[in-house]
Each structure stands twice: as structure tokens, then as C-alpha cells.
Amino acid sequence: MNLTGKTVLVTGADGFIGSHLTEMLLAQGCKVKALSQYNSFNNWGWLEQIEGLAEIEVLSGDIRDPHYCKHITKGVDVVFHLAALIAIPYSYIAPTSYVDTNVTGTLNICQAALDNGCEKIIHTSTSEVYGTALYVPIDEKHPLQPQSPYSASKIGADNMAMSFYNAFDLPVATARPFNTYGPRQSARAVIPTIISQIANGAAEIKVGDLSPTRDFNFVKDTCRGFIAIATSDKTVGETINIGSNFEISIKDTFELIKKSMNSTVDFVVDPQRIRPGKSEVQRLWCDNSKINELTGFVPAFSMEDGIKETVEWFTNPDNLSHYKSNIYNV
């Protein structure tokens, strides 16, 4: 499928990955509808910062409303469904919100896309559904382990999307990105929380457990992965990892950021940033052979290059002003 000239809907476009994907789709010549969660302040989140804002149709609403979902998918060729609640700590105290948004919201989008005859739907999963690796690298056949209410809700959402493919032939593909980082990411995530604290002159950097490993991916690579899955004719009915096939510990990531920022700060473990013992995912390492085989996708950014670009963005005072680095953001 060639996306040029297609009408595409991006749910969660006001968020971190969604805003970058919106920019990339615009650059590919798409007619973009961008869904921002409704609020009375008429704030469009990170869409306010993107290039080409005047060229997109910004919609304000909520995927938890099935009537609204049916309304916004009319005339849409391709849906990129990214809207979700994603903060793991908040899922411990507000799990019902995650079911309502992630599971029911996905049901609403799938039903609306089916009713309106959309050509393809890219549903967004997460590597958190795998839990702590039982083997590495993690391929798409790895067992799913719900180690938090968030991951449980995403497992439910993934199965809901796949049920629409199996039961109704909905042309859906599930993109399963591993840990994405980059400009505009929430400070609840480890890389921006380290960078923003250093940039604000903190004497000690507050972190959680530094021992887990992650397969980090620069946001532009993640978005390229989404588009590769959308344009390939081989991905319908498939669940596909987006990752680098490279793991690094949080401790080594901390050291890499320090080096990039010419910093000598040390860290202190903040107890409120520690997950419950059985909830912590200790190891994530992506097997990205499937996306390569189906689409030809390979990551373009090294960890060092991605960190450099991320640091440059966060250390711009205008960008840094959006963050409250002295407050732990769940």
C-alpha cells in the first residue's frame, strides 16, 4: 500500500509517539486526521509543537465513546491506533481506567473501522505484554505475562484487535514496539527523567531500579516501523515487534546519558520509583527478524545518535520548560 494521498487517522496523535508519527505521515503526503483527547482547555498536547500543524485536521474526542469513534473513521483509509493509557505506576492505582481506555477503546476503534470499511488498521501493542524474558531475544511467539494492570489491559486490547481479524476479516496488523525514547517523551520514562534532572542542575539524579535491561528505540525508528507495517501487504493479521535487537541496562543507559551531557552527577534510588517486586520486567530484548522479513525495516539510529538528538531537544530551555523534573510523574 502506498500511503501518499491516503486519508489516515492517528489516535493518540497528541502524545509522544503519535505526534512524531503525524509529522512523518504528513511528510509522506498523507491527509492526516489527528485525534487529541478532548479537554475544555482546547489543548492539543504535543501536536502544538509539530511542523505542519495547519495542514492536519485536529479532532478532539475520546476513544471510549463508540459513537464518536464511528464518526471520526468515516472516509478514513488507514487508522493508526495509538491512543492508550500507558503509565505503569498509575495502572496500580487506577486499573479500571486502563480497561476502559485500552480494551474498550480498542473495541470501539475496531468496530468503527469495520463499519466504515477502512482499508487497514495498525493497532499499537507494547513489549510490556511479554513480561520478564523467558528467553532472548524475544520473538512474537514468546508467552504473554501480565505483570501490571497496564500490561494486562494491552494483552486484552491486542486480543480484541486480533478477534476482529479472525471473526470479521478486519484488515488489522498489531505493531509491538519495544521501549521508545526521544523528544517529547513524558518524564515518567527513565531516559527523559534522567536528562531533564541533569539539565535542571540536580545534584543527584533520582531513579528507580537500574538493573533491568531494555531494547531502546529512537522514536523516529519506531514511527518508521509503524509506516513499514502499514505499507506492507504481508502484515495483515500479524503481530510484529519493532525493536533494535540490542539490549542495554538502565545503569549503562544512565552512564551513556551522563557522557553525552558531560555530567559527573551520581544517582540515588527513589523508593517511589521502584515497581512491586513481581511487577518489574527485568529483561527485554527484541527479536526484530519478523519485521525485517515482512517489510525490509531496519533501525536507522544507533543508541548514541538517538541519545544525542534527545539531549539536544531536552536541553533547549523552551522544551525543558514543559517538564517539572523535581516531581515524580507516575
Binned at pLDDT 50, 70 and 90, residue 329 comes out as low
**What is the reported pLDDT for 150?**
98
**What is the reported pLDDT for 202?**
87
- pTM, rounded to two decimals: 0.95
**What is the reported pLDDT for 29?**
97
**What is the reported pLDDT for 324?**
80
Secondary structure in 3-state letters for the chain: CCCCCCEEEEECCCCHHHHHHHHHHHHCCCEEEEEEECCCCCCCHHHHHCCCHHHCEEEEECCCCHHHHHHHCCCCCEEEECCCCCCHHHHHHCHHHHHHHHHHHHHHHHHHHHHCCCCEEEEECCHHHHCCCCCCCECCCCCCCCCCHHHHHHHHHHHHHHHHHHHHCCCEEEEEECCEECCCCCCCCHHHHHHHHHHCCCCEEEECCCCCEECCEEHHHHHHHHHHHHHCCCCCCCEEEECCCCCEEHHHHHHHHHHHCCCCCEEEECHHHCCCHHHCCCECCECCHHHHHHHCCCCCCCHHHHHHHHHHHHCCHHHHCCCCCCCCCC
Binned at pLDDT 50, 70 and 90, residue 206 comes out as confident
**What is the reported pLDDT for 304?**
96
How do residues 66-98 score in pLDDT, each as one tens digit? 999 999 999 999 999 999 999 999 999 999 999
Which residue segments constitute the domains of the chain, with CATH numbers given? Answer: 7-180+217-242 (3.40.50.720), 186-214+247-287+302-320 (3.90.25.10)
How do residues 111-170 score in pLDDT, each as one tens digit? 999 999 999 999 999 999 999 999 999 999 999 999 999 999 999 999 999 999 999 999
How do residues 30-39 score in pLDDT, each as one tens digit? 999 999 999 9
Binned at pLDDT 50, 70 and 90, residue 178 comes out as very high
Mean pLDDT of 207-220: 93
Instruction: Check whether 267 has a pLDDT greater than 90.
Output: no
Mean pLDDT of 188-208: 89
Instruction: Check whether 330 has a pLDDT greater than 70.
Output: no
**What is the reported pLDDT for 45?**
96
